Amino acid sequence: MEQRAILIAERDDAVDLAASAEAEAMRQEILFMGRKLWERQYVDGNAGNISARIGEEYLLCTPTRVSKHDMTPEDICLADLNGKILVGTKPRTSELLLHLEIYRHCPEARAVVHCHPPYATAFALAGAVPPAGYHSEYETMIGPAAVAPYETPGTQAFAETVRPFVRKHNTIVLANHGVVCWADTVTHAEWLVETFETYCKTWLIAQQVSAQLGRPLQPIPTDKIGEILAIKRQMGLPDERS
């Protein structure tokens, strides 16, 4: 009876939290960013997923098999940090395990966005990322991205592929799959997706320009990279070079 009472109390706490103004604001942010991903063609069909920490014990996440364009507030699930749905009528995304792995191993992560932008995913198919050290905006917001090895999406093995990288990288390419970014808010995590996708596209264009002009691409001077790393430390952004 005592254990049952504890479970009921926890359930009541979750229901109260799900109905809070904080949760409603976070749902709206998730919905807005989901539509933004869809409009930018970073997701198609029911692909991609978004989550955000709320409090220390719970998170909100997108459901499975719903287009990011078509989500409603009622679709957003409240789950605990074991992935158990506490409030919501639709099943959670199967890739929530990936998000949970990031939250467990990177306390700074408060939101995670996973999607399949075309240029970033093209690099994922090659198991590579564009070189760092060339573009100031990319260096400041992301810097070197990591590449996680392929595992079957939705599995615990897939989730664990990011574990070696998540503390030193806020952007990780998932081999043969897509990209995942974490930040302090859903909005900022989506910004990282945009920044990475744009850099992947820019790098490929720059390669063509370099070949046509017969001029090598010019990296940022090493001492100036040091200045960027100092800025990143002040901003609390990770970088494996720090």
Active site residues: 95
Pairing state between β 146-148 and 171-174: parallel
Q: Left (φ > 0), alpha (ψ -120 to 50) or beta: where does 83 sit?
A: left
For residue 153, which amino acid is it? P
Residue 66 tokens read as 């719903």
User: CA 151 to CA 161: how far, in whole Å?
Assistant: 7
Residue 24: which H helix or E strand, with range?
Answer: helix 21-39
Please give the structure tokens belonging to residue 83: 């992935």
Question: Which uninterrupted H or E stretch holds 50?
Answer: strand 49-54
Phi-psi region of 4 (alpha: psi -120 to 50; beta: other; left: phi over 0): alpha
Q: Which neighbouring-strand residues pair with 181?
A: 113, 171
Q: Order of strands, edge to edge, in the sheet holding 171-174?
A: 85-87, 77-80, 58-61, 49-54, 111-115, 178-183, 171-174, 146-148
- Cβ distance 174 to 238 under 8 Å? no
Closest by Cα among 17, 88, 15, 82 to 54: 17
State the CB neighbour count (10 A cutoff) for residue 28.
12
